[in-house]
Amino acid sequence: MSKNVALVLSSGGARGLAHIGAIEELLAQGYHITSIAGCSMGALIAGVYAAGKLEDFREWMKTVDRRKMLELTDFSLSLNHLVKGTRIIEAIMEFVPDMPIQQLPIPYCAVATDWKAGHEVIMRDGSLFEAIRASISLPAFYEPVQRNGMILIDGGVTNPIPLNRVERQEGDLLVGIDVSGHDYGAQEMRITHYSMLSRVSSIMIRQNSLLMAQLTHPDILVDIQMSSYGTFDYDKSEKLIAIGRQKTRKALEDYER
């Protein structure tokens, strides 16, 4: 049985920290990640892993509490975004150096969305952190990234789990980690402007993720549903990482059975 993996990490905000646990479990079980792709938070984790700095990132996340999150939030007075998104990238770049994607040890791909043209943008070259910053540009929250005449926003708008974009060699297992799932019935929510938009967005992303899985038939799809964790729960990294590891272990056991 092949243990070479072309790995794809979904969008999901703070829930995407579960991707760290998923990667750790894959490696612990003897799998070898030959290429990696991601969207939004998945693009960030994938890029950090490809650069060989996942352990440093995990240790840094342990220091992120609500106060530090506020310190890393550079608010803007712009009409099209609330946060510039510069501080968070600069903080990560202190221990993950920027480099051309082509120079990473393994093939890496991030996806974003061109707001002007309304289509997916696939980034396989150029600055690693420009690709990450574009992919995480949550609409109306983070400032969009301007690149080659495009206005780039979050890749989750068009392809929240880019199973069709990862570079794959013959014999590689296609493995996807999807943290977009919600048990909607388990949550009591007041209907407000924010909750309405938030739930509609999460439903659309989830349906796009399910459709992509149906189209690409991954060998292993780790479906991680975490309704009790929100988009901005970055101060709960250890719990989220543990969930990712646990769910991946179960998926691998089922696959190898």
CA distances from 70 to 116, 138, 235, 257 (A): 31, 17, 11, 45
Cβ–Cβ contacts within 10 Å for residue 200, how many? 10
Which pair of structure tokens corresponds to residue 224? 């991680």
Nearest to 113 by CA among 58, 152, 140: 152
| Cα gap 245→40, rounded to integer Å | 20
- Beta strands (DSSP E) in 45-140 are 108-114, 119-123
Asked if 154 is an active-site residue, the reply is yes
CA distances from 223 to 9, 12, 31, 114, 162 (A): 11, 12, 18, 27, 15
| Cα gap 110→161, rounded to integer Å | 10
Nearest to 141 by CA among 29, 25, 41: 41
Asked if 209 is an active-site residue, the reply is no
Among residues 10, 11, 35, 40, the one annotated as catalytic is: 40
Among residues 10, 35, 154, 178, the one annotated as catalytic is: 154
Supply the residues annotated as catalytic. 40, 154
